[in-house]
Amino acid sequence: MSEFDLIRRYFTRATPSALLGVGDDAALLQVSDGYVLAVSSDMLVSGTHFFADADPFMLGHKTLAVNLSDMAAMGANPRWATLAIALPDANEAWLEKFSAGFFALADRHRVELVGGDTTRGPLNLCVTIFGEVPAQQALRRSGAKIGDEVWVSGTLGDAALALAHLQGRIQLNAVEYAACAPALHQPQPRVALGLALRGVANCAIDISDGLLADLGHMLSASCVGARLDFSALPISPVLRAHLQQPPGMQCALSGGDDYELCFTAPAARHAELLDIAARLNLPLTFIGEIVAGSGCIVHDAAGDPLNIEILGYDHFR
Ligand code: ADP
Ligand code: MG
């Protein structure tokens, strides 16, 4: 199969919202009046971000999901994507499943694949995504204000727990693994939440590297600190059952790959956020507050600070 047959068969779909999609030297895209483009790329490398024998359907899903998550964290509505892909060979069974996983998620979010690049090489997947947001409503990392409440969507640490199981660092039974594996293999980007947070949240980030690391980026960009209540963190029943044993707490605080949103909003918006949670059928949990200073303190139920140094991302990895 030639490169062009491959592109036509697996990566060419109708792109009604683009002026020009796959097949020319570049795509042509018209941004809606009053909006600016939010643009982001995320690369998934075999051996680093996924196992070489990963299920191709789920890999197609995740390749796009991690990019949609960046749009969500910006409050942007994802519209178009490009896909640069290096493949060791033209394995049609693999391509069939990969593209099915990719387009199933793309269709759900009405995102159109408008171009890309295809080359032979070690498996490597890079999506660039283009979304639209009113410039003044983009959810920048730098917007957190002292007194804001800190919130997080969904639950924390399930993806890291599933990964720890696969790496033999913890033992889950089949039911437990089945409960947390979707967080690792098929994360659900919080696009609808990102849109709902426009004009409500001051600041947002998606949790790809763990709560502490990603919240830390937000805090330094905003020149503020945070105080979190460990007992308030949204933790699934499976992770809760393993919390007292390493790497349980590390999963919750520093586990990557969750793709939930962490955001801050004025306390006056608290009730509104609970309404958004109900409307989206997505748990939103108030986990702490923004304070003057820098860095993050996590305290336990008794109010004593946890030693989060030993729970840090680098050590965990
Ligand atoms: P060029 O030689 O200009 O780089 P290519 O031959 O690489 O063009 O690509 C031909 C067309 O197919 C272009 O429109 C490009 O955007 C598109 N394309 C290439 N690879 C992919 C892919 N993996 N997914 C979607 N579109 C692709
Ligand atoms: Mg090319």
Q: Is residue 129 domain-shared with residue 158, that is, in the same domain?
A: no
What distance in angstroms lies between residue 259's CA and the mean position of ligand 2's atoms?
Answer: 30
User: From the CA of 287, how far away is ligand 1's center (Å)?
Assistant: 45
> How many domains is the chain partitioned into structurally?
2
Residue where a domain stops, chosen among 75, 102, 134: 134
- Is 152 in the same domain as 256? yes
Q: Does 6 contact ligand 1 (Cβ within 6 A)?
A: no
Q: 45 and 124 share a domain?
A: yes
Q: How far is the CA of 206 from the centre of ligand 1 (A)?
A: 29
What percentage of residues in the chain have a pLDDT greater than 90?
94
pLDDT at 294 over 50: yes
Tell whether 130 is covered by a domain. Answer: yes
Assess if residue 89 is contained within a domain: yes
- Residue numbers of the domain that contains 65: 3-134
Distance from the alpha carbon of residue 116 to the mean position of ligand 1, in angstroms:
5
Amino acid identity of residue 70, one-letter, is D
With a cut of 60, say whether residue 316 has pLDDT above it. Answer: no
Q: What is the CATH number of the domain that holds 160?
A: 3.90.650.10
Q: Note whether 153 and 102 are same-domain residues.
A: no
Residue 304 within a domain: no
Mark whether 41 and 74 lie in a shared domain: yes
Please indicate, yes or no, if residue 312 is contained in any of the structural domains. Answer: no
**pLDDT digit string, tens, across residues 28-58:** 999 999 999 999 999 999 998 998 899 999 9
Rounded average pLDDT over 212-223: 97
The ligand whose atoms approach the alpha carbon of 117 most closely is 1
SS3 of the chain: the string is: CCHHHHHHHHHCCCCCCCCECECECCCECCCCCCCEEEEEEEEEEECCCECCCCCHHHHHHHHHHHHHHHHHHHCCEEEEEEEEEEECCCCHHHHHHHHHHHHHHHHHCCCEEEEEEEEECCCEEEEEEEEEECHHHCCCHHHCCCCCEEEEECCCCHHHHHHHHHCCCCCCCHHHHHHHHHHHHCCCCCHHHHHHCCCCCCEEEECCCCHHHHHHHHHHHHCCEEEEEHHHCCCCHHHHHCCCCCCHHHHHHHCCCCCCEEEEECHHHHHHHHHHHHHHCCCEEEEEEEECCCEEEEECCCCCECCHHHHCHHHHC
Q: Is residue 314 part of a domain?
A: no
Is 149 domain-assigned? yes
Query: Is 212 among the domain residues?
Result: yes
Q: Which ligand is nearest to the CA of 63?
A: 1
Give the separation between CA 266 and CA 144, rounded to whole angstroms: 9
Atom 4 (ligand 1) nearest CA:
117
Q: Whose CA is nearest to atom 17 of ligand 1?
A: 115
285 or 309, which is more confident?
285
Ligand 1 in reach of 28 Cβ (< 6 A): no
For position 307, what pLDDT does the model report? 86
Identify which ligand lies nearest to the alpha carbon of 7.
Answer: 1
**Residue 285 belongs to some domain of the structure:** yes
Regarding whether 155 and 281 lie in a shared domain, the answer is yes
User: Is the domain of 24 the same as that of 127?
Assistant: yes
Q: What is the mean pLDDT of the chain?
A: 95
